Structure 1
Amino acid sequence: MELELRHLRTVRAIAEAGSLTRAATALGLAQPALSAQLKRIERTLGGPLFERHRHGVRATALGELVLERTRILLPAVTDLQQEATRFARTRAHDPQQCRRLRLGGTHGPLLGALVDRLAQTTPGTEVTTRTSWSERELADLLTDGRLDYALTGTCGSAPPPGPDQLTWRKIAVDPVCVMLADSHPLATAPHIGLADLAREEWACVPGDSCFGDCFTTACARTGFTPRRLYETDTASCVHLARVGRAVGLCRATFPPTPGITVRPLAGTPLTWRHLLGWHPAAQHPDTAAHVLAQARAAHPELATSRP
């Protein structure tokens, strides 16, 4: 019998489970079938890999050697599979053949502005978009080769989402602002302190970053706990603010909206760092530089509407 990757996965599963019974359950096998398979693997490798005792199994010296190699080989094979998938799904290795860009993004107008600029600067390229509330999902799509670029962000100096092999570049940093009904008593103030809003309810769009925790911490520093935080879509946030039900949290790029006044928070207690991410193995450096430049040019065009 020749040793295969599935045999190494079986050995790893037995070691992680600590017993043949638990490993068989995890692998979806009957225990006799797993025991027979282990014996065949041990014959191939030249000796027993595990010692049996009444509480389960323990790796032998040979077993430890095999497990050590397995910890290197299996992740390497997984990386190879992911890289091959990315290569097959993209043509970015040949910039002359790059005629499609798949963009992802969270909420906000920056994605639309980037699509518009790419349509103007690269008219022969087909641009498709995908949105998600989850920064982590967008990072996973980049890792799997199902997106070329992702527009997302982080709160303050928090690390970007996803594995280390992704490349992230800063587009701009926005102060987090508040949106109020035009009739709100503080709507005419040039800036508003968080403490002045201590009795309000709040609204923001959902996400899986640390923004909610950072907001709660900023409120605590000024001496209060938010009464309620509605996490909902942008249109609902605007509605709740317009009718006076809540104060909305937004960025400097939030577009002018009838019935809504946007004001900065005094002292800028919260910031949002806009990021563009991609996988360097899947994108040509010239293409990445162009997309990043267009994203950085799009941001001030949006932000100029908010002096």
Structure 2
Amino acid sequence: MRHLRVLCAIADTGSVHKAARELGLAQPSLSTQLRRIERTLGAQLFVRARTGCRPTPLGLAVLSRARPLVAELAAIVTETRAAAARAADGFQLRIGATASRAIPGWLRLLRARLPRIEPTLRMSGSANALLEMVAAGRLDTAFVHEVEGSALRVPPGLRLRVLVEREPQFVTLAADHPAASRRQVSLSDLAGDRWMVDSTVDGEWDALCRVLRAAGLDSEILHGDYLTAYSLAAIGEVVTVSQPTAHPRPDCAIRPLEGDPIGVRLLLAARTESELDDVYPELQEAYWAVARDAPAYRQWLARARVPDEPEPSDPREAVCRLVTGRPGTAAGPRRP
């Protein structure tokens, strides 16, 4: 395996000198190893030139077999270290998340069920960055939002579990805004308003631009964090996209957008299915607790049920019926 790592390093850097530095070896030592590998295989794997090293056709064939093996070994090492850490007393469960009102409840439930485990939290607006951290072993799990129309870059080998297949995004506006009196707000009702969104949230800026263009609107969009956006919305300076679970404020109105033009998929990511099993039930319970606590979302869920069917006692049933057209659970299928 050491020899395979040597070949991958030389190919990736295009230089024996750079590969030696990356591997922490002296260049003569690495050159000797390369010659030994080539003698063992009976063929030249790299063409040396003053501009660097490039693989021969046979070298490319060897590399195509070597890279998956090196990657698999790295995954084994990462997962083994994570399992060993879980077995130790005082293990820290490293959680990453994009913003959600479900997070405090999730952490509380995890601490109650797993008193020996101390969850730590890393927040980020970038779901892609959090997924990379899980894949690299710097986080154990991440709860992220995938904005519709902006697919996340999921690293190979990660396991995903769907919490909600499509969560509608609502709008927050001043309580005295003319549209606040409506049960649902159309984009045309907001034609004269400026929007504010956080462009550091993966996919959110693009999603709003697409939706406004589709509605024939050329609204001004400002960049700002959501704490600032809600404060400005309260005084009528802007309107802003908000999660349906957002806590109501007396100076703001949270309303569904007519036709639910913006949606996100809620995902839990980890390296193994067992790691998902360890934390998913608490996340599911925490999410639906805040969903029931949000008046606008609770009303939306009640309207989302299939006509002429009994109203579901659990809001998860309403989401599942809306998405799939049949009863079930809002937690989607497990995906590799």
Paired AA for residue 249 in structure 1: V
Paired AA for residue 70 in structure 1: A
Deviation of 1:266 (Å): 1.4
**Cα separation, 2, equivalents of 1:70 and 1:63:** 10
Given that residues 103 and 129 in structure 1 are in contact (C-alpha distance below 8 angstroms), is that contact kept between their aligned partners in structure 2?
A: yes
Deviation of 1:223 (Å): 0.7
Equivalent runs, 1:1-307 vs 2, <5 Å: 5=2, 7-16=3-12, 22-25=15-18, 27-28=20-21, 35=31, 37-52=33-48, 59-60=55-56, 63-91=59-87, 101-118=93-110, 122=113, 124=115, 126-130=117-121, 131-156=123-148, 159=151, 162-163=154-155, 164-171=157-164, 173-232=166-225, 234-283=226-275, 285=277, 287-288=278-279, 290-304=281-295, 306=297, 307=299
Unpaired segments ≥5 residues, structure 2: 300-336
Q: Secondary structure at the match of 1:275?
A: strand
Q: Secondary structure at the match of 2:105?
A: helix
Q: Secondary structure at the match of 2:179?
A: coil
Task: Classify 1:50/1:126 alpha carbon distance in 2 versus 1 (closer, same or farther; 3 Å).
Answer: closer
Unpaired segments ≥5 residues, structure 1: none
Task: Classify 1:123/1:216 alpha carbon distance in 2 versus 1 (closer, same or farther; 3 Å).
Answer: same
Task: Classify 1:249/1:43 alpha carbon distance in 2 versus 1 (closer, same or farther; 3 Å).
Answer: same
Deviation of 1:198 (Å): 2.8
Higher relative contact order (CA 8 A, sep 6+): 1
Tell me the alpha carbon deviations over residues 173-218 of structure 1, each in whole angstroms, 9 at most, x when there is no partner: 4321111122323222332221232332212345443222121111
**Cα separation, 1, equivalents of 2:221 and 2:276:** 46
Q: Secondary structure at the match of 1:107?
A: coil
**Cα separation, 1, equivalents of 2:4 and 2:114:** 50
Task: Classify 1:223/1:90 alpha carbon distance in 2 versus 1 (closer, same or farther; 3 Å).
Answer: same
Task: Classify 1:225/1:205 alpha carbon distance in 2 versus 1 (closer, same or farther; 3 Å).
Answer: same
Given that residues 155 and 209 in structure 1 are in contact (C-alpha distance below 8 angstroms), is that contact kept between their aligned partners in structure 2?
A: yes
Q: Once superposed, what is the RMSD of the aligned Cα atoms?
A: 3.5
Q: Secondary structure at the match of 1:90?
A: helix
Q: Secondary structure at the match of 1:226?
A: coil
Tell me the alpha carbon deviations over residues 71-117 of structure 1, each in whole angstroms, 9 at most, x when there is no partner: 2322222222222222223239xxxx898654332213111232344
Task: Classify 1:143/1:257 alpha carbon distance in 2 versus 1 (closer, same or farther; 3 Å).
Answer: same
Given that residues 141 and 276 in structure 2 are in contact (C-alpha distance below 8 angstroms), is that contact kept between their aligned partners in structure 1?
A: no
Q: TM-score, normalised by structure 2?
A: 0.71
Identity %: 30
**Cα separation, 2, equivalents of 1:61 and 1:182:** 68
Deviation of 1:284 (Å): 7.2
Q: Secondary structure at the match of 2:213?
A: helix
Q: TM-score, normalised by structure 1?
A: 0.77
